[in-house]
């Protein structure tokens, strides 16, 4: 399988040799399956404006921004790759879930650290996050997820920019 190439560039105001626009890391599932990924270090003006609009639309008290814009990783990189890279292929998310022996659980049984995936009607895994607070009393679980190239947001499990059918894995 061809690997992505790393491009080193000089960026004004950044120490020489310390910045790259794109790259990848070695990433495998627990069973050793290679997981294609990419690291991006630049956000476009459109992506910056989108993040600003999302922050304005999804604001406290129901939503808490944990981080500012960070294009290096996406929601799946947060959930399955320790915030190190961007995993874009939906089939790879399904492979990770299988290879890493996740099991489907009910929303009411979700505990902090469990994974939530948001699935489109066509079966595509569009979004993922990590449970940070279990359901209690009348409140829904809270999830930490990454919104595109934007930041990490803590939000109620059923409220995100990509509301879809949800599965919880422990």
The DSSP symbol for 72 reads T
Predicted pLDDT at 159: 87
Six-digit token string for 128: 């993922």
Q: Which residue, chain included where needed, has tokens 């008290």?
A: 61
Q: What is the pLDDT of residues 23-53, one digit of tens each?
A: 888 999 999 999 999 998 889 999 999 999 9
pLDDT at 1 over 90: no
Six-digit token string for 115: 């994974």
Distance CA 33, CA 11 (A): 35
How much is the pTM? 0.82
Six-digit token string for 32: 């050793």
| Class (C level, CATH) for 43-169 | alpha beta
Q: What is the pLDDT of residues 66-90, one digit of tens each?
A: 999 999 999 999 999 999 999 999 9
């Amino acid at each position: 399988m061809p690997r992505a190439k790393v491009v080193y560039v000089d960026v004004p105001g950044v120490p020489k040799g310390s910045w790259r626009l794109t790259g990848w890391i070695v990433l495998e599932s627990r069973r050793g399956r290679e997981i294609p990924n990419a690291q991006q270090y630049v956000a476009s003006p459109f992506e910056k404006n989108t993040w600003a609009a999302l922050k304005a639309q999804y604001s406290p008290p129901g939503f808490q921004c944990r981080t500012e814009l960070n294009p290096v990783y996406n929601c799946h990189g947060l959930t399955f790759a320790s915030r190190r890279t961007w995993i874009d292929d939906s089939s790879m998310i399904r492979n990770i879930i299988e290879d890493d022996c996740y099991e489907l659980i009910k929303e009411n049984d979700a505990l902090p650290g469990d994974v939530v995936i948001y699935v489109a009607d066509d079966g595509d895994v569009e979004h993922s996050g990590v449970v940070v607070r279990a359901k209690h009393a009348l409140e829904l679980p809270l999830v930490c997820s990454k919104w595109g190239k934007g930041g990490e947001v803590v939000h109620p499990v059923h409220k995100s920019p990509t509301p879809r059918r949800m599965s919880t894995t422990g």
